[in-house]
């Protein structure tokens, strides 16, 4: 059952440097109950994609220039503002990368949680408070009842992210979008948070979109993966398939960059070069300059989106070869 | 929190004593006296005057007596110029005038400034934004002794809408021009501060979170953005109050209001020692207490500051 | 603030992008800001006019700011702008005259000389005191720094301007020159506090950088380090704050002169001109309006310039 379908989404930014096509023609689907991973380097457009789904892109300078975002049969991009606001937090919830700055430092945690249910579920103050405490307990905040009236700065980073998760799941949304939820946290805490998300997903049946640059996280958490680069989808496949048989040189490069503790490696591999300047893209494949397999055609012509299997696509002139070899 | 307040009060007292001492010292060190005007007085009369006011005693005795009276009874003595009136009485009488004008001016500045600044921030880079910031810049640049008379010229002497000067009691039409004149510059500062503060807050992550939660834009601004965005205005209150005092001096002069500022200037020009010291001490105390209040309010508003 | 080395931004690009120094960058940004440029131009114009104006007027019309026409009693009164003795249009007095018949334009320009002069010098005074104090406090650090900053805190809470008023009321100098010096000291002492804080903050953050370590390792003495190495690197915020201080000091001087405590006759500043002018506001409003508007225009421009400088040099400094 398709919960979310994104078709040809385009989000552009007007900057002093020129028109930045942060997201340039993205299409994907999310099945109910699934976890979709979006992987990419900084600047690949993964965060902007998510902001676009909820129409949270700051305008100016950003603008959703085209496409459809169909959620439960309705195109979010065409809805009037108050309809979108009803979806935010209630049907689709989002958590962000940096819990330090994402919570209002001037407001008690309890109040920030209560806001959600009072707004969307019509709770009274008492109901909302109880619900908030319950959510805090669910995400594993010790002494939830006493700590509910604290301020964000009184919590550690990991705790704050748990609070954010509690807040996001307060109204039992159908979709949770997690934008690099663990990037700002210590490695040990990262694992805890990811486990928490996994557990909650299983208990509530929420679908998840998980954005990250860390392939390790993708491997452990997701059913499907999208690899983004320069605002485009370079590869999409089931997670297991992507790791076992990548069909794109970029993906291959990413996989190679993950250090393997068991293998004896001389040098750590790194994809050569830097991500391109998205304001001034050259014709042809955006990855051509850094690609090991690149040939003349790659610099001239934009690559096709090749279907390797019905469930596995790759944006490359040589997709089949890469897939095979 | 209580310890913080007590500590501040403890520092306040010596500070005020220092201020009084400095003032006293300046007056004593200066050449000339309060009784010497244009004419030289005959020596006999001069001697009488000096005896009467205790000016013939050595300086440390004078200092001691002055300080003793102040510390013991809060008695600042009698004015040298206004016969028979005690300094405390004069202060009591003139304070309400200054307070009325000052408080009204500050409130006006807050209301207008915050409103204009917030709207400018919300409509950033629009014509409204540019216009109001240009106006704010003008407000900072026109001295109050230019603005006041111009307002009087237009509204009193040309249009006959408002009375030009003098104190008419509280409340009365007489208040309008002085209050506007005094508050203009603070309106401007507060508008700019509010705009800057709001812009910064509106860019922050937690506002993005608030929007992602589905709150209406109105709620986002009022419940989330305003609190953080107004912090610069709160911390500016301290210096504002200090400047208001000096502004009051000029405004009371221009509009002939019998307030603390006017008495202060008059006393300074008359070299009326007890009155000068009395008013200066009062102002110093008032400032210190107000600064303390501002710090308390700031701590109350920003929970991050509280736990130190 | 040293010029940056050439930076490679993109692999495979044939051109290298040259780094520029902080100052060139800032200058370019400043020029882009139209309001700041406007401010700069107006300030320069008014300054030039103030400096050269009275002399030019003297040459062409024969008025000095103090020239009181004797002889023809018809001339000893206040003319409105651009009007002559019989009410006819005349170019002689574009800003009118005061009660004694003195040409306002000349007076306003000369007032500008004094006002600007006082503003700049007093700012310099506060600069010198503030920068030294802050740099020393920041560099030495520790207990001394604590103490010095405590003193600043205490001083900050004093009703400074009130004390300055008392000071100026008591010590009226006999000579106008003496009064000016008194003003420099009094005004300069009001604003050095914030300068000291800013500089101290800068020094604290620069103190641990490598070039300071290098200087110490090679035995450079502390005062030399402070003044030759650290202070030049704090110039950015210092310049910005100085540019914003000048109008503040000018305002303070103006209102002190307005109260009769500042500049003494025969010298005049815009403030004292305003004080003179306000006497006759009902009948001869131009006596107040011209000095007032000129002053407002100057301050307006200085403020824009200061804002522009701050945006150009350090956009992060924006707090007000």
How distant is the alpha carbon of residue A146 from its chain centre? 33
- Taking only the tens place, the pLDDT of each residue in B50-91 is 777 777 777 777 777 777 777 777 777 777 777 778 888 888
- Taking only the tens place, the pLDDT of each residue in A254-266 is 888 877 777 666 6
SS3 A314: strand
* C contacts of B284 (beta carbons < 8 Å): 158-159, 162
In the structure encoding, which two tokens stand for residue C163, read together?
């004390």
Residues B207 and A112 sit within 8 Å (Cβ to Cβ): no
- What is the ipTM, given to two decimal places? 0.84
Spell out the residues 6+ positions from residue A21 whose beta carbon is closer than 8 angstroms to its own.
A10, A11, A12, A231, A278, A281
Question: Which of B212, B228, B306 has the most A C-beta neighbours within 10 Å, making it the best mutation to test the interface with A?
Answer: B212
Confidence tier at B307 by pLDDT (50, 70, 90):
low
A88 and B214 in contact by Cβ < 8 A?
yes
* A contacts of B208 (beta carbons < 8 Å): 56, 96, 102
Confidence at residue C74, expressed as pLDDT on a 0 to 100 scale: 60
Cα separation, C22 vs C1, in Å, equals 6
Least CB-CB distance to B246: which of C161, C170, C318? C161
Chains touching chain B at 3 or more Cβ pairs under 8 angstroms? Answer: A, C
210-229 in chain B: CB under 8 A from chain A: 210-216, 223-224, 227-228
Q: How many CB atoms lie within 10 A of CB C150?
A: 11
The helix-helix angle for B2-29 and B59-73 (nearest 10°) equals 150
Phi-psi map region of A211: left, alpha, beta (phi>0 left; psi -120 to 50 alpha): beta
Cα separation, A218 vs A231, in Å, equals 19
Spell out the residues 6+ positions from residue C289 whose beta carbon is closer than 8 angstroms to its own.
B150, C277
Residue A40 has pLDDT above 70, yes or no: yes
Chains touching chain A at 3 or more Cβ pairs under 8 angstroms? Answer: B, C
* B contacts of A89 (beta carbons < 8 Å): 212-215
Least CB-CB distance to A102: which of B209, B223, B302? B209
- Taking only the tens place, the pLDDT of each residue in A97-122 is 888 889 998 889 999 999 988 988 88
- A-chain residue closest to C12, CA distance: A289
B264 and C285 in contact by Cβ < 8 A?
no
Residue A206 has pLDDT above 60, yes or no: yes
The sheet that has A207-212: what strands, in order across it? A92-95, A175-179, A207-212, A35-39, A224-229, A232-238, A312-315, A305-309
B214 and A101 in contact by Cβ < 8 A?
no
Write the CA distances from C221 to C206, C213, C214, C217, C224, integer angstroms: 17, 12, 12, 10, 5
237-256 in chain C: CB under 8 A from chain B: 247, 251, 254-255
A87 and B214 in contact by Cβ < 8 A?
yes
* Backbone torsions φ then ψ of A130, nearest 5 degrees: -60, -45
Spell out the residues 6+ positions from residue C61 whose beta carbon is closer than 8 angstroms to its own.
C92, C103
- Taking only the tens place, the pLDDT of each residue in B20-60 is 888 888 888 777 776 666 566 677 777 777 777 777 777 77
Confidence at residue C296, expressed as pLDDT on a 0 to 100 scale: 92
Q: How many CB atoms lie within 10 A of CB C55?
A: 12
B140 touches chain C (CB under 8 A): yes
Confidence at residue C68, expressed as pLDDT on a 0 to 100 scale: 67
Nearest partner of C169 among B268, B33, B270, B272, judged by Cα: B268
Confidence at residue B154, expressed as pLDDT on a 0 to 100 scale: 84
- C-chain residue closest to A288, CA distance: C12
Using CA of residue B6, residue B8, residue B13, residue B14, what is the dihedral sign? Answer: positive
Residue B214 has pLDDT above 70, yes or no: yes
Confidence at residue B70, expressed as pLDDT on a 0 to 100 scale: 76
B209 and A82 in contact by Cβ < 8 A?
no
Residues C84 and C96 sit within 8 Å (Cβ to Cβ): no
C12 touches chain A (CB under 8 A): yes
Confidence at residue C319, expressed as pLDDT on a 0 to 100 scale: 39
Give the DSSP H or E segment for A128.
helix A125-138
Confidence at residue A81, expressed as pLDDT on a 0 to 100 scale: 86
In the structure encoding, which two tokens stand for residue C90, read together?
């005349």
251-290 in chain B: CB under 8 A from chain C: 253-254, 264-265, 268-269, 271, 276, 280, 283-284, 287-288
Nearest partner of A48 among A26, A28, A32, A33, judged by Cα: A26
* A contacts of C17 (beta carbons < 8 Å): none
How distant is the alpha carbon of residue B27 from its chain centre? 23
Cα separation, C214 vs C205, in Å, equals 16
Q: Are strands A224-229 and A232-238 parallel, antiparallel or unpaired?
A: antiparallel
B157 and C281 in contact by Cβ < 8 A?
yes
The helix-helix angle for B144-151 and B176-202 (nearest 10°) equals 130
* B contacts of A173 (beta carbons < 8 Å): none
24-43 in chain B: CB under 8 A from chain C: 26-27, 29-31
Residues B4 and B292 sit within 8 Å (Cβ to Cβ): no
A153 and B210 in contact by Cβ < 8 A?
no
- Taking only the tens place, the pLDDT of each residue in B253-287 is 888 888 888 889 888 888 888 888 888 888 888 88
Query: Cα distance from C53 to chain B (closest Cα, Å)?
Result: 23
* B contacts of A102 (beta carbons < 8 Å): 205-206, 208-209
C278 touches chain B (CB under 8 A): yes
Of C21 and A132, the structure prediction assigns the larger pLDDT to A132
Of C226 and A75, the structure prediction assigns the larger pLDDT to A75
The sheet that has A62-71: what strands, in order across it? A18-31, A2-15, A62-71, A74-75
Q: What is the pLDDT along chain C (320 residues), one digit of tens a residue?
A: 444 444 434 444 344 444 556 667 777 777 877 778 888 888 888 888 888 877 777 777 766 766 666 666 666 667 777 766 666 666 667 777 777 777 788 888 888 888 898 889 999 988 888 888 888 888 887 888 888 888 887 777 777 788 888 888 887 766 777 778 888 888 888 788 888 888 888 888 777 777 777 777 777 777 777 677 777 777 777 888 888 889 888 988 888 888 888 887 778 888 888 888 888 877 788 888 888 899 999 999 988 888 888 777 765 444 33
**Residue A208, beta-bridge partner list:** A35, A176
Cα separation, A20 vs B226, in Å, equals 32
Q: What is the mean pLDDT of residues B183-199?
A: 90
């Amino acid at each position: 059952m398709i919960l979310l379908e994104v078709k040809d989404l385009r989000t552009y930014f007007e900057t002093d440097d020129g028109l930045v096509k942060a997201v340039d023609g993205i299409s994907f689907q999310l099945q109910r109950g699934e976890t979709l991973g979006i992987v990419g380097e900084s600047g690949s457009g993964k965060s902007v994609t998510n902001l676009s789904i909820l129409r949270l892109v700051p305008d100016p300078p950003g603008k959703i220039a085209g496409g459809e975002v169909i959620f439960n049969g309705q195109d979010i991009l065409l809805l009037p503002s108050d309809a979108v606001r009803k979806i935010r937090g209630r049907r689709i919830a989002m958590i962000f990368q940096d819990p330090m700055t994402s919570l209002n430092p001037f407001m008690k945690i309890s109040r920030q949680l209560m806001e959600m249910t009072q707004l969307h579920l019509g709770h009274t103050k008492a109901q909302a408070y109880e619900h908030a405490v319950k959510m805090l307990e669910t995400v594993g905040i010790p002494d939830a009842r006493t700590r509910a009236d604290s301020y964000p700065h009184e919590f550690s980073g990991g705790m704050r992210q748990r609070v954010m998760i509690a807040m996001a799941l307060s109204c039992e949304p159908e979709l949770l979008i997690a934008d690099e939820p663990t990037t700002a946290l210590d490695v040990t805490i990262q694992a805890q948070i990811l486990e928490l998300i996994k557990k909650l997903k299983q208990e509530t049946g929420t679908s998840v979109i998980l954005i990250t640059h860390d392939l390790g996280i993708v491997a452990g958490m997701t059913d499907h993966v999208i690899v983004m680069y320069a605002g485009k989808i370079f590869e999409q496949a089931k997670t297991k398939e992507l790791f076992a048989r990548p069909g794109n040189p970029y993906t291959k490069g990413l996989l190679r960059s993950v250090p393997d503790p068991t293998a004896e490696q001389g040098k750590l591999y790194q994809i050569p070069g830097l991500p391109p300047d998205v304001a001034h893209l050259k014709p042809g494949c955006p990855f051509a300059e850094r690609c090991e397999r690149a040939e003349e055609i790659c610099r001239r012509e934009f690559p096709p989106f090749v279907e390797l299997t019905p469930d596995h696509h790759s944006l490359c002139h040589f997709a089949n070869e890469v897939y095979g070899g | 929190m209580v310890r913080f307040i007590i500590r501040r009060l403890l520092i306040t007292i010596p500070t005020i004593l220092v201020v009084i001492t400095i003032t006293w010292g300046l007056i004593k060190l200066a050449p000339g006296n309060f009784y010497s005007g244009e004419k030289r007085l005959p020596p006999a009369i001069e001697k009488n005057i000096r005896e009467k006011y205790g000016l013939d005693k050595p300086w440390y005795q004078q200092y001691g007596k002055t300080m003793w009276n102040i510390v013991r009874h809060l008695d600042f003595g009698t004015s040298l110029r206004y016969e028979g009136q005690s300094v405390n009485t004069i202060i009591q009488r003139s304070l309400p005038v200054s307070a009325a004008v000052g408080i009204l001016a500050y409130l006006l500045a807050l209301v207008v400034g915050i409103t204009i600044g917030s709207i400018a921030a919300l409509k950033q880079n629009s014509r409204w934004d540019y216009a109001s910031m240009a106006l704010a810049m003008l407000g900072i640049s026109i001295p109050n002794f230019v603005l006041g008379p111009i307002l009087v010229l237009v509204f009193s002497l040309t249009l006959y809408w408002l009375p030009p000067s003098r104190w008419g009691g509280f409340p009365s039409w007489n208040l309008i021009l002085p209050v506007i004149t005094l508050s203009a510059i603070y309106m401007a500062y507060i508008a700019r501060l509010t705009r800057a503060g709001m812009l910064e807050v509106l860019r922050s992550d937690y506002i993005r979170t608030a929007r992602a939660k589905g709150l209406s834009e109105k709620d986002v601004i009022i419940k989330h953005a305003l609190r953080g965005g107004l912090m610069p205005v709160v911390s500016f209150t301290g210096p504002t109050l200090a400047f208001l005092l000096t502004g009051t001096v000029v405004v009371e002069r221009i509009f002939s209001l019998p307030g603390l500022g006017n008495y202060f200037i008059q006393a300074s020009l008359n070299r009326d020692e007890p009155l000068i010291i009395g008013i200066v001490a009062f102002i110093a105390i008032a400032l210190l207490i107000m600064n303390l209040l501002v710090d308390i309010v700031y701590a109350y508003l920003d929970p991050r500051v509280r736990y130190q | 603030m040293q010029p940056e080395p050439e930076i490679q931004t993109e692999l495979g690009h044939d051109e290298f992008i040259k780094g520029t120094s902080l100052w060139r960058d800032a200058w370019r940004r400043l020029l882009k800001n139209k309001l700041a440029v406007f401010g700069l131009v107006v300030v320069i114009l008014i300054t030039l006019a103030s400096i050269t104006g009275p002399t030019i007027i003297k040459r062409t019309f024969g008025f000095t700011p103090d020239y009181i026409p004797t002889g023809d009693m018809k001339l000893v009164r206040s003319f409105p702008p651009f009007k002559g003795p019989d009410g006819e249009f005349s170019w002689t007095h574009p800003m009118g005259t005061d009660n004694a018949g003195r040409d306002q334009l000349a007076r306003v320009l000369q007032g500008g000389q004094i006002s600007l002069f006082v503003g700049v010098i007093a700012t310099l005074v506060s600069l010198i005191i503030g920068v030294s104090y802050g740099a020393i406090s920041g560099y030495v650090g520790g207990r001394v720094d604590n103490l010095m900053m405590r003193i600043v805190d205490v001083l900050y809470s004093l009703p400074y301007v009130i004390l300055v008023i008392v000071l100026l009321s008591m010590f009226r100098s006999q000579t106008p020159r003496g009064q000016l010096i008194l003003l420099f000291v009094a005004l300069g002492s009001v604003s050095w506090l914030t300068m000291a804080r800013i500089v101290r903050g800068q020094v604290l953050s620069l103190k641990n950088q490598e070039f300071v370590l290098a200087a110490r390792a090679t035995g450079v003495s502390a005062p030399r380090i402070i003044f030759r190495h650290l202070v030049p690197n704090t110039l950015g915020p210092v310049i910005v704050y100085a540019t914003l201080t000048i109008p503040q000091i000018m305002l303070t001087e103006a209102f002190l002169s307005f109260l009769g405590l500042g500049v003494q006759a025969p010298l005049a500043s815009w403030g004292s001109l305003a004080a003179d002018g306000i006497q006759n506001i009902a009948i001869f409003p131009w006596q107040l309006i011209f000095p007032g508007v000129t002053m407002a225009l100057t301050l307006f421009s200085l403020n824009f310039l200061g804002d522009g400088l701050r945006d150009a040099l350090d956009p992060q400094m924006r707090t007000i």
